[in-house]
Amino acid sequence: MTRQDIAVVGGGLLGRCLAWRASKAGARVALYDAAGSQGEGSAAWVAAGMIAPTSEAVDAGPQIESMGRRSLSLWPQWLAELPVPVFYRNDGSLLLWHREDAGEAVRVQKVLASRHAEGHLKHVEGAELGELETALGTRFPRALYIAGEAQVDNRALLQAVAMALSQNKVECHWETFVPDAEFPDAGFVVDCRGMGARRNWPQLRGVRGEIVRLHAPEIELHCMLRLLHPRYPVYIIPRAEGRLVVGATSLESDDHSNVSVRGALELLTSAYSVLPSLAEARILEFNTQVRPALPDNAPAIHLDRQRSVLHINGLYRHGFLLTPTIVENVLALLSLNKQSTEADCWPCLLDSRSEVIFAPVEDEVHACL
């Protein structure tokens, strides 16, 4: 068997996208994942697929916002190169709040102003808000609109990338568990296992996300809706064929069990307060997943020089927001970007630059890739 240039361990969103883009850049790639090709074992399977850098800037650092803006520009290019179409919409986000939570809206605007992101906001009210999203009726007198923020069908994307891996002849080992001590033999190994790599990241913690998928063909939404609330924020994401994804995230827990009655009530009550017409929607699925997070909620990379392993982790709830930018930077480190010359030998080039690019092996290099 031919020794691969890159072995990617972990076939969730980040791992399979990295394997796909590396293979497109000419590398021989193998991918290993403990679950199946559909992506059902990954955190990205239970997600809304939001690419919303300004919205996330409220609770995330400036590096996350900056990386997210780069990803927002890359996603359409990537989707155009997939073998099948994937639902994608960039009609923007509406930030909504109830009158009693006006203080939360003020806080959000102050945070965005401190980040110099207020230029991305537009205040809409009255008839303008009604025209922008007729399904809201007159329930909210005013809102904040962020144009251009996008979303992608998370499950369709995972499956489309799996098809692209097959087309690009990536050696895929689905349903293959890889222990820490038995990483595959390759020129370089990239560890993208998320919570599966907990032994390598002592500070890694789980953040539980819960979502409900609904069928409500009578409700026509265009924007992503986010309710600003100090305790029960919620998002409502429109998908094709009358489907909606409703969720809330950031529950500090690594509990993988089913949604509790309390969690279901809080989630649906918050969503109902935004769109009372959801009362007649049909529940297709309740689901949960645990996302990997580091103490600062920012991603980090760590180079194990002795084993030639690059560990990437801590994407938190920002997988779709950050993946293209992280992949782009990793490929640049491996000299697989378009600027590389054919004479460049990517493993040797990485080794020769490692002292400059990376901190000492005990350290982590965070989102400022």
Banded model confidence at residue 368, pLDDT cuts 50, 70, 90: very low
130-147 mean pLDDT: 94
> How far apart, in Å, are the Cα atoms of 307 and each of 150, 166, 316?
38, 28, 26
Q: Give yes or no for residue 366 having a pLDDT over 90.
A: no
Task: Report the CATH number that the domain containing residue 46 is assigned in CATH.
Answer: 3.50.50.60
* Identity of the residue numbered 237: I
Least confident of 118-122, 130-134, 147-151: 118-122
Q: What is the pLDDT of residue 337?
A: 58
pLDDT, position 232: 85
Q: Give yes or no for residue 106 having a pLDDT over 70.
A: yes
Amino acid code (one letter) for 157? L
Asked whether residue 221 falls in the same domain as residue 359, the answer is no
Top pLDDT among 346 and 188 is at 188
Q: Are residues 188 and 126 in the same domain?
A: no
Q: What is the pTM of this model?
A: 0.90
Question: Beta strands of the chain (E only): which ranges?
Answer: 4-9, 29-32, 50-51, 88-89, 93-96, 121-125, 142-146, 150-152, 171-173, 186-191, 205-215, 224-227, 234-238, 243-251, 282-293, 300-304, 309-313, 365-366
Q: Which domain holds residue 111?
A: 93-147+205-293
Task: For residue 44, report the phi and psi dihedrals to the nearest 5 degrees.
Answer: -70, -20
For residue 143, what is the domain's CATH number? 3.30.9.10
**Structural domain ending residue among the three candidates 240, 271, 293:** 293
Q: Is residue 13 part of a domain?
A: yes
Among candidate residues 293, 324, 351, the one where a domain is terminated? 293
pLDDT in tens, 227-286: 999 888 899 999 999 999 999 767 888 888 999 899 899 999 999 999 999 999 999 999
Q: Which residues pair with 244 in a beta bridge?
A: 214, 238
Residue 80 lies in a domain: no
Could you give the number of structural domains in the chain? 2
- pLDDT tens profile 54-69: 999 998 989 999 999 9
